[in-house]
Structure 1
Amino acid sequence: MKSYILSLSLLTGSLLFTGCVSKKQFVGLQADYGKLQTENSDLKRSYQDAQLQLAECRTSGKSLEDRLVEARKNNDELRSAYSALQGSLDKSLLQNSQGNVNISKLVDEINASNRFIKQLVETKSKSDSLNLVLTTNLTRSLSREELKDVDVQVLKGVVYISLADNMLYKSGSYEVNERAGETLSKIAKIIMDYRDYDVLVEGNTDPDRISRANIRNNWDLSALRASSVVQVLQNSYGVDPKRLTAAGRGEYNPIADNSTALGKQRNRRTQIIVTPKLDQFMELIDKAPETTD
């Protein structure tokens, strides 16, 4: 721009110092002068445009710097958020891994418990089936007349064979009479067939006082009656005495009202209780799976 002004000045100066020129030359110089003025105007506009563009560029550059600073700030915030998320993820993965271990242990314990319960159920089912067969075989072996004095029931997995005292003993006595021998032989045969069962013989009386020199009270009478039946089963019919237990309940285990003669008669009874060996169930319980807290 400065060189253009200098050229224009030199041209004007040359016109002033040359003095006289021809008309043709003057017209040419005027044309050149007009052209230079036009170019000068164009240059001024170009210069102004350039200045405006420079200002816009500077403004735009300032805006870009601000945006760059903001972008860097956002990037730092994103990095912090990412680190926090990564930490949370690592913690969650660790907890999930521990949770999976605990769940796996719990599943193992549940499976072990299910197997134990299944084994108990199977054992009980087997015991119930054997009890049913035992009861069926016993009732089939007894005559109709014997069944009047013998009651056979299965209660809570235990077989109860209840015998009336007038069928087994004389009144006030504990010695087993001959009439009872045939019935006890049939019961003994069934007991012998089920060697995995224990046998408890339990004597029961009514509350009437006993008046015999060698029997102090109903406790003695009930225990002596049970002992007599146990010895008949052992000595006369070969039942293993290790399977037998004699017990007396006296008058304290009634099944009927003692205010009537019929009630007292029902309460005077001897029960042969056939049960699965408890040690089998205790072994199962000992094998129960342990659980962790």
Structure 2
Amino acid sequence: MKYPVIASCLLIAATLSQSCVSNKKYAELQSNNTKLQQSNQELNSRLQASESDLSGTKIRVKSLEEQIASERANVASLQEALTKCLNSSNQGGANISKLVDEINSSNKYIQQLVNSKNKSDSLNVVLTNNLTRSLSREEMNDVDVQVLKGVVYISLSDNMLYKSGSYEISDKAGATLGKIAKIIKDYSGYDVLIEGNTDNVPISMPNIRNNWDLSALRASSVVQALQNNYGVNPKRLTAGGRGEYNPVASNDSPAGKSKNRRTQIIITPKLDQFMDLIGKAPEAGTNK
């Protein structure tokens, strides 16, 4: 009579043991998921701040170009006024001298603006050339380098960067990242934004809710590799994910999806000197 009772007790004990293991595993998964959510929120906040800085950089470049055009128009107007003065017997020598001074001042300021912009453009060209020359022909199949509005964009395919279906950096990506890291370190006056992008196919991975998470985690992996493996100053780095919402091609074809699955390293020059120059523009009608 005792044996059935003992068997029942053993069965209950085994059931409770299994339940404890399941609850522990569930708690661990919950904890990992909470950490990933917090990490994703932090990465998205940093991305928004960096995108704001990048937008400001583009606005400053546009403002600089508009300032150059305005100053050139001002010089043309001054030269026209000078011509009228020279052709009129009623104009005094003092007025002519004043116009000449204004023209010379404006021309000097225009040259300062042009020189500063040309310097930035030249640095971008040299940076791009140095990078493309360092990459092999095979690496260039997975790397696209462009300069748009004073900003260098290095686009890396996910097939080269990450292990299949993962946000971990693959072994074969090491050499390419090392070459890019060297360029980044050589041009220490530039800030660097790492931006993850995906196609529109829903993700199905443990503890990753959607493509927002995946893109942010992939960008974070690249940032940490640049910092930990190649010694890039982390104060210059920002990681962020844009999910599937920044496509460069249609997601209706495999080729388009492949182009959209990319990580961009965006290198932006510091344009503080441009803003200083714009703030020092000569005022019309005053001698300099």
TM-score range, shorter chain: 0.5 to 0.7
| Partner in structure 2 of residue 135 of structure 1 | 128
Shift of 1:165: 0.6
Can you list the C-alpha shifts for 1:106-132, whole angstroms capped at 9, x where unaligned?
665554443332222111211222222
Look up the match of 2:178.
185
Deviations 1:74-113 (A, max 9, x none): xxxxxxxxxxxxxxxxxxxxx977x966x87666555444
The answer for the alignment partner of 1:270 in structure 2 is 263
Matches within 5 A, 1:189-200: 189-200=182-193
2:218 alignment counterpart: 225
The Cα of 1:170 is off from its aligned counterpart by 2.4
> What amino acid sits opposite 2:193 in the alignment?
L
Question: Paired residue for 1:258?
Answer: 251
Partner SS state of residue 145, structure 1: helix
Residue aligning to 2:197: 204
**Which runs of structure 2 are paired with 1:94-243 in the superposition (5 Å)?**
110-243=103-236
1:285 maps to: 278
Which is higher, the Rg of structure 1 or of structure 2? 1
1:96 and 1:208 map into 2 onto residues whose CA distance is 75
Q: C-alpha separation between the residues in 2 aligned to 1:124 and 1:285?
A: 12
* Identity between Structure 1 and Structure 2 (%): 75
Unmatched runs of 5 consecutive residues or more in structure 2? 1-89
Distance 1:168 1:286, change over 3 A: same
Q: Once superposed, what is the RMSD of the aligned Cα atoms?
A: 2.5
CA drift of 1:284 comes to 2.8
| Counterpart-to-counterpart distance in 1, 2:241 and 2:166 | 14
Residue-pair matches, total:
198
Matched residue type, 1:183: T
Structure 2 counterpart SS, 1:275: strand
Q: Name the CA shift for 1:169/1:119 in 2 (closer, same or farther; >3 Å).
A: same
Instruction: Give the letter for the 1:277 counterpart.
Output: K
3-state SS, counterpart of residue 210 of structure 1: coil
What TM-score does the superposition give when structure 2 sets the normalisation length? 0.61
Q: What's the CA shift string for 1:216-259, capped at 9, x where partnerless?
A: 22222222211211111111111112221222222121111110
| Distance (whole Å) between structure 1 residues aligned to residue 133 and residue 232 of structure 2 | 21
Q: Distance in 1 between matches of 2:155 and 2:231?
A: 21
1:220 & 1:280 partners in 2: Cα distance? 37
Distance 1:234 1:280, change over 3 A: farther
Q: Following the alignment from structure 2 to structure 1, what is the Cα–Cα distance between the partners of residues 176 and 250?
A: 27
CA distance in 2, matches of 1:283, 1:269: 36
Q: Which aligned segments of 4 or more residues in structure 1 are displaced greater than 6 angstroms?
A: 103-106
Q: Determine which structure has greater relative contact order: mean sequence separation of CA pairs < 8 Å that are 6+ residues apart, divided by chain length.
A: 2
Q: Distance in 2 between matches of 1:263 and 1:114?
A: 49
